[in-house]
Every structure is written in structure tokens, then in C-alpha cells.
Structure 1
Amino acid sequence: MSETVAAARPLDLIALGRSGVDLYGEQIGGRLEDMGSFAKYIGGSPTNTAIGAARLGLRTGLITRVGADHMGRFIREELEREGVDVAGVISDPDRLTALVILGIRDPDSFPLIFYRENCADMALCEADIDPEFVASAGALLINGTHLSRPNVRAASLKAARAINAAGGQVIFDIDYRPVLWGLAQKDNGEDRFVASAIVTNKLQSVLPLCDLIVGTEEEIHILGGTTDTLAALRTIRAATDALLVCKRGADGCVAFPRAIPDSLDGGIVGQGFPIEVFNVLGAGDAFMAGFLRGWLRGEPIETCCTYANACGAIVVSRHGCAPAEPSWKELQAFLGRDDWPHRLRDSAALEQTHWSTNRHPDYPDLTVLAIDHRSQFDDLVVTLGTGNFDRVPRFKELALRALERVARDNHGYGLLADGRYGARALEAAAEMPYWVGRPIEQPGSRPLVFEGGLEAATILADWPLDHVVKCLVFYHPDDDRALREAQDRQILRLFEACRQTRHELLLEVIASKHGPVTTDTVAGLVEHFYELGVYPDWWKLEPAVEPAAWAAVEAVIGKHDPHCRGIVLLGLAATQDALLTSFAAAATSPLVKGFAVGRTIWAEPAANWLEGTIDDEDAVEAMAANFSVLVDGWRAVRERQAV
């Protein structure tokens, strides 16, 4: 198929087959029996490849079944976040989503338990295959596991014939798991080879349909019916003209576009990368994604091998399968240097690139209603003399209703709420399409102290993953050295905790409370935190009326973190007019995405509601009106800047 025809199709690749949830043991070097906690990731070989290829810039889709359950919805949402077309993902009401439990025992042992009895993805059948959807892609990826049962085998063959009929290409990932063919004990999920003439025969039956075949040496052995690698390759070659690619782990790979030579090194050799092996699970899926990034774009085989080996090397250095897959920018960065540490995950630069280029979704604008205040509500109740602290949580739920009234279901709105008074609002927001942030600092602490005096990682262990960690630090460059060092230690600990627990970080910096602020003050503080090794996903900064101040901040962020999500403005209880004036200056910077404002919006309605002079609806309407003024004002100045 020509590149022109392929480019005209909506998708570059559709993967068909396994899709489930991986529960990865978080304790390294121990038995699965001794694991105490697990990280939940999307999984399944073709699913991993679809995600990896999407991250590398290909347009991908998936054909599979998932349960009509919480885990099935998790898979669908993850795929959508990654940009994978889910038109072929079917929700099965009668079966649960597949599950795998995995561990990292040592560099050579990775125990696996497959929970796949009557699971959703193995119920895929011919009727689930829409030839028109298959034909919307330039290529189809099928795998050996889905040839192990009659129904999924029939589905795979129907899809392969459909893509052939449409002039597309078939990629075959041999993907041999003896346990999924009933050839190994259920507790031996990591076994990679058991000889079987029956399996060989079933796998070989698809060879005439294939244009590209990829497998490890063990998988070449099962496909070729012999443990002599060259003999196996010759057997395969006799049945197909497909490009054959043999994965060789740390030794890279070798590709055979034509006849099989007298030695493996007689093929097109792709050299491996000298990276410490931490976790082999998922490396093959990343290899496939990298190879396809080149092959489906018409790159030379040598380039395809380089992409594939690099992606595999990156993934073997990390925890998890799909989450470890590199983005295109990350792959380019990796290939742009040859001085990476042998223990690749120790590279802060590459890990930051990985984190920052794989976040979803994007936020071209963000307007946030902030009700994370705690001490301010305490002071308000004391000042009013009502003593009704127990009513504050209810008011914060009303604030969420005000946000809904303005935002409806539109993207680009957010809620900033605390876990003390705002817990019910946070829980309700879990079902809504809004950005959610949550404070971790003890109000007013200087030096910085986290909630309850606890370590950041201890606190974040209980937080939902979609809660952005907001931390306010009162920091001025003229602070004494001991104070600055104490604050730096806490901020660095927080950043490391956020990365460990997979939470985004919003760092709020207020300098004006403790010294004079010039055009360069905030930019200097931002520079300081980057030099400390802290890379916030978001910055929350004081409004300034000088465009030069924003230009200085933007220059620093652009130098250190070009993938930063952006800046939101804080309010400091300023008047609406003052904030609108500051918006005009901030809108000159494309890094400023919006605002996170609180007291300007809720202070007066809260006082009136707590005193009983207005009811719930009045409070909601007043906050919605105040919020709308700021939202409209921000959008107006942004639109003027765009003209």
C-alpha cells in the first residue's frame, strides 16, 4: 500500500486483542506473596502497543472487549486520554475485565498471574469485527494470544482478511504466553516457551496474511516449530514474504526482509542500548510501537530498528508497561544523546521529559473557583460570632454548584477545595469533568509545614490520582538563609512525593507578604525552584500589572521546562476591578492559562449565608455571578490579545 493511500485513512494502525488491568506490585525484589500494595495501570499487549504508538505520533485504534464494570470504564477512559480511537472497544455486560497481577522479583524473574477465566477480551468474536472500521486504518496488529480460542481466532482472521481486502497491511505479534494456551500452570504466567505442535500449527495458519512478523527468539521457535532459530526462520519464510523481525533483548534485534542468511548477524542488525534491566514486562510492546512508528511512515528498516530498540530500552528501565512508554519528544531526546546513565531511571532530565510529555488532558485555558481556604473560614465564623463551623462544609458544596452553573460540562474549569471543610465538595466533583486541585500546606505556615505535620508522601497516599496537589509557600528572596533552606527542603520533598504517587503539582508562590516585589522578583523565585530540581506542573502566581514581569517569568519557564502546563493567577482577595486590570497584563503571556480565585468570589456570599440573610439559592447565584464576571473578563482580554 502506498504512503499516500495510508495517509488518507483516518487511522494508521488498529490493534486487536488483549486489554485488561495490570496490578503491579510496588515492592521490588520480593515475592508476590509478600506484596503489600499495587499500582493500577492499563495493560494487555496490543493495548500497550496502541498507546505506545499513539504517544509516538501515530493515529491508533483498538478492537477489544472490556467488562461493563469499573475497570472497563478505566480502560476506556485511559485510551481516550491517550488519543486511541475506542470505536472498536465493546463493553461486555456479562463478563469482567481481564486482570493481571505482576511483580519484579529480580532482573531475571517477573512473576505473573493472569486472571482471564471467561474475561471480556477473550469473548471477542467475528460479529464484533466491523470491516469498515478495520478498513479505516492502514494496518492491523493481531497477536498470538488471540489465536488460542476459536472465537477470538475467528475474530482475528476476519479482521486480517478485511484489512487485506482494503489494501492494508497485517502485523503479527507472535506474543506467546504458554499459560494462556493451557500449557503451563496458572502460577507460571512468566513462562515464555513450551513446545507444542498444536500451537505452532495454529500460529502458522495466519502467516500468508502477514506483512510484518515480530517476536523474540523463543517466539520464533514456537512459530517455526523448532528451537533452532535459523531453521525456524526458514520455515516461516517458506510460508510468507513478510518482513521478519527477531527481538534479541539487550542485543537489539535483527530484521530479515528477504531470504534467511547463514547467521542471525547476516540480517539487518539493530544494535541494542546498554541500559540496566529493571523490568522486562512491556518492553516488547514498546519495541513494536517504536518499530511501527518508523515502518508505517516509510522509514528505512535500520531506522525502524533504532526506534524499536530505543523504546524497549526506555521501558525496561521503568515500573509498568503502558505508562512507561515514551512520547515522540522523549524518544528524540533519548536518541539525541549517548551519555545516559546505565541506570536510566536515574536521569532526572529524561524522567521529567517522560512525565511532562505524557500528561492528559491539555488545558489551553483554566478558570478555577478556589474554596480551599481554611483559616479564612475559621476567621470569618469567629468574626460573625455565629459559631457555626459545621455549616462551612455545606457552603463549599454550594460553591461547587456555582461552578457547575457557570461551567456546565465545558472543559477548562476547575475547583480548588480542601479535605477538611471541602471533603464533600471534592467527593461530588469526582463525577464531574473539572480540573480538581487540593491544598497540602498547613495554612499560614512559614517555614512550610504539611497538613497535620505529616510527610507529603504519607498524605498523598490517600488522595485520588486526579487531585492536583496545590502547595502555597510564602517565600521572598530576602528571607534569611535558614528559613529559605527549611522551605527548600519541604518543597523538594513534596515534588519527589508527587512524582512517586503520580500526582501533578501546583506550586503557589507569594512573595509580596514579606518584602518588596520588583519586575524580576517572581521570575527569580521561579528560577530558584527549577535550580533546586523542582518542576511544578502548574504555577500559581501573584497578579502583576507590568507585562515585563510576565515576560521574565515566561523566559525562565521556557528555559527550564518548555512543557510546563502553565500559570494561573491567584486573587489575594483583590477587587474585581483590580483583578480585571491584572488580567490585561497577564494575557500577554501564552503561559498564563487563567486564574484560581477565591475570596473575590465567595467572601460576601459566605458572610451573608452564614449569618442567615440569604438562602442556598441566593448564595449559589451570587457566587456564580461573581465567577462569571472574572471568567468573561479573562476571556475578553485573551481574545483581544489573540487578534
Structure 2
Amino acid sequence: MTPGWTAPLRVFAMDHRDSYRTLLGIDSSAAATERARAIKRVVFDGFRDALAELDDPRGATVLLDEEYGGPLVDDARASGALVCIPLERSGQVELQWEYGEELADTAAVVDRMRPDLAKVLLRYNPEGDPDLNKRQEVRLAAMSDWCLERGLPLMLEVLMPPTPEQRAASGPDLARWDAEMRPALMVEAVHRLRAAGADPAIWKIEGLDSTADAAAVVAAARADGRPDVSCIVLGRGADLERVEQWLAVGAATPGYVGFAVGRSLWNGPALAYDRGELDAPAVRAQVAANYLRLCRAWG
């Protein structure tokens, strides 16, 4: 059984790697890496500026990758934020370890970064390819066990792409699938993943539109004697108005303790900075204002 988590969480997610490279149009060269790190530094500074204005900083957390965000870990700790790091390789349909199959390499990164939490992003639809789902379940259970051995609370982010059959059933407007089909599928996914051996402390769930749906996910996450686990709201890169709607649902649902939002907070300002359309102080101000807005929306 993994360590539980019932404390507040206000996660500023900036561990993006594959999508971040796509956003900036960069390769893996040393010059591109330094450019990407410099932009993440400015984004992080906006988060740090916001921390100084929070009335209640409990649960303020930054999700950092080692590749571009590793140099920020010490500053994050000095600011009083919790640190969470990803364990999954970015941009993959099938779950893989970020640092390779030699788990000593992952252990070395964890020892170096000393995170308060670890995060795994999983793409999983219970009605999807059964062979792929089985492999996903097995790999996720192994990651969960690995975190258990280290007493490291695991945050599991479940993304659910619709199957072709689900797309056909819902018609051209995926909003219908999102509202009418995904909530029940998410509950089923939680049950299946838990039955396969996954035991996260925190379930990072794509935004839901009703407290009844959110409560059903909490019930699945806490079934069979796990009242010490919690859910948080995932931003999905949506505009802030939509994210606030999802946060209102989460905040009204016992068992939800906060949110994890990334691109919605910093994607636009970071891209504008890279293009020379905004300077660093303007980016910091926008990012800080966006994070504070969601913290205050949660209450």
C-alpha cells in the first residue's frame, strides 16, 4: 500500500518535454536545450512570484522534469514549494520509464532531485486495445510498486483518448463523448487499474462537469479501504474559464484536494516570450496572475 495523500495540492505543472519541444520547434542540441531551460526559468519565476502573494501557500507544488527543469529544483525548495517529478517518458502512447529500463538510473535521478512526489502519465481507455491495456496495467503496477518501495507518494495522471468506436457513437462533437461517456469510463478505469496493482496516492483526473461524476471517481479511488487517497483536477490545456468550471466541481466534491494545471497557465506567455513579443517581467506577471487566479478559484 502506497503512502496516502489527503493534504491540499495546488500543482503548477511544467514538466512538459515532448509537447514543449513541439511548442518551441526545437531539437535536442545543446543550444536548443539552453534556450528551453531559459524559458522555463522565466515561467518558474512567475510561479515563485505568485507564492509570495498566496494567503495560504499549503500544497503549492511545482511539477518539474529533469531535462529542462532540473536546474530549478533548489530554487523551488527554497521558495517553500513541494517538488514532483515525472517518471514516464514524454509523448509515448505506451508507458515507458523516462530514464530507461535500468531502474538504477531512475533511482539516481530521484536521489538527486529528492522529490516530495512522483508522477506518472498514463493513456488508458478501458474499451481500448486489450493487449495494450494489459501492458499498460502491468507497467503501471511496476511503477507503483517501485514508488512503494521508496515511500514515495505517486500521482497518477490518467488521460483517456476515445476509441474510434466511441468517436463514432458520440458523433462529430467530442464534447458529447466527454460529457456523456468519459465519466463512467473513468470510474471503470480506476477500478481496473487498481485491480491490476496500481496504488497511487493521488489520482489526477481530467475535468468533470458534475459533482456526481466526480464523487463516483473518488469512490472508486477510495474503495476497498483506501480513504487516505485523493483526487485532483487536471487542466487539459483548456482556457482558464473552462478550468475554473472544472475546479468548481472538484472543490465541491469531498475527496478532491486541489488541481494540477500547466499549459493553461504558461503556454501562451512562454511562446510570446520566445517570439520576442513579451519580456521576462511581463511573462512572470501573467504566469503569476494565472496561477493565483486558480488558487483563489479553488478557495
TM-score (norm 2): 0.85
Q: Which has the higher contact order (CA 8 A, sep 6+)?
A: 2
Aligned to 2:171: none
Deviation at 1:457, TM superposition (A): 5.6
Render the CA deviation track for 1:333-387: whole Å, top value 9, x for unaligned: xxxxxxxxxxxxxxxxxxx2xx537x7xx62x2211110111121111218xxx8
Is 1:479 matched with 2:120? no
> What amino acid sits opposite 2:117 in the alignment?
V
Q: CA deviation at 1:626?
A: 1.2
Q: What is the rounded CA distance, in whole Å, between the counterparts of 1:462 and 1:567 in structure 2?
A: 26
Tell me the residue number matched to 1:297: none
1:590 is aligned to: 254
What is the distance in 1 between the residues matched to 2:233 and 2:103?
24
**How many Å separate the matches in 1 of 2:76 and 2:225?**
30
1: CA distance, partners of 2:87 / 2:204 = 14
Structure 1 residues 586 and 562, CA gap change in structure 2 (3 angstroms): same
Give the C-alpha shift of residue 567 in structure 1: 1.4
User: What's 1:371 paired with?
Assistant: 14
- Partner residue, 1:430: 77
Tell me how large the CA RMSD over aligned residues is: 2.1
Q: Deviations over 1:274-302 (max 9, x none)?
A: xxxxxxxxxxxxxxxxxxxxxxxxxxxxx
Total equivalences in the alignment: 275
1:356 is paired with a residue of what secondary structure?
A: coil
2:38 aligns with 394
Q: What whole-Å deviation, never above 9, does each CA across 1:422-472 have from its counterpart, x for those lacking one?
A: 111123223332221111111121221111432456413431443411110
Task: Tell whether the 8 Å contact from 1:356 to 1:563 is kept in structure 2 after alignment.
Answer: no
The SS at the match of 1:460 is helix
Alpha-carbon distance in 2 for matches of 1:455, 1:493: 13
In 2, the alpha carbon distance for the partners of 1:427 and 1:376 equals: 24
The structural deviation recorded for 1:630 is: 1.4
Q: Of residues 451, 456, 481 in structure 1, which corresponds to 2:98?
A: 451
Task: Map Cα deviations across residues 180-214 of structure 1 (whole Å, 9 max, x no partner).
Answer: xxxxxxxxxxxxxxxxxxxxxxxxxxxxxxxxxxx
Counterpart residue number, 2:244 = 580
2:61 to 386, 389, 414: 414
Q: Which residue of 2 aligns with 1:532?
A: 196
Cα drift, residue 558 of structure 1: 2.6
Aligned-partner Cα distance in 2 for 1:540–1:368: 10
Q: Is residue 118 of structure 2 the alignment partner of residue 469 of structure 1? A: yes
Residue 620 of structure 1: how far off its partner (Å): 0.8
Letter in 1 for 2:204: K
Per the TM alignment, residue 389 of structure 1 is displaced from its structure 2 partner at its CA by: 4.2
- For 2:148, the equivalent position in structure 1 comes to 499
> Is the alpha carbon distance of 1:513 and 1:631 closer, same or farther for their aligned partners in structure 2, counting shifts above 3 Å?
farther
> 5+ unaligned residues in a row in structure 2: which ranges?
167-176
Given the superposition, is the C-alpha separation of residues 455 and 545 from structure 1 closer, same or farther in structure 2, using an over 3 Å criterion? farther
Q: Secondary structure at the match of 1:450?
A: coil
Conservation of the 8 A alpha-carbon contact between 2:137 and 2:198: no
Task: Give the Cα–Cα distance (whole angstroms) in 1 for the partners of residues 84 and 220 of structure 2.
Answer: 24
State the TM-score, normalized to the length of structure 1: 0.41
Q: Output the CA distance in 2 between the equivalents of 1:544 and 1:452.
A: 32
1:542·1:570 contact (CA, 8 Å) conserved in 2?
yes
What secondary structure is seen at the aligned counterpart in 2 of 1:556? Answer: helix
How far apart, CA to CA, are the structure 1 residues paired with 2:213 and 2:18? 30
Amino acid at match of 1:617: P
| d(CA) in 2 for partners of 1:552, 1:560 | 14
User: Identity percentage over the alignment?
Assistant: 25
Alpha-carbon distance between aligned partners in 1 of 2:12 and 2:263, rounded to the nearest angstrom: 9
CA-to-partner distance for each residue in 1:544-601, whole Å, 9 max, x for gaps?
A: 1022211211211232343434112111110111111112222221211111101111
1:428 is matched by which residue type in structure 2? Answer: D
- Bigger helix fraction: 2
The within-5 A match list for 1:19-168 is none
1:91-118: CA deviations, max 9, x gaps?
xxxxxxxxxxxxxxxxxxxxxxxxxxxx
Partner AA of 2:61 in structure 1: G
> Residue type of the partner of 1:419?
E
Secondary structure (helix, strand or coil) at the match of 2:183 reads: coil
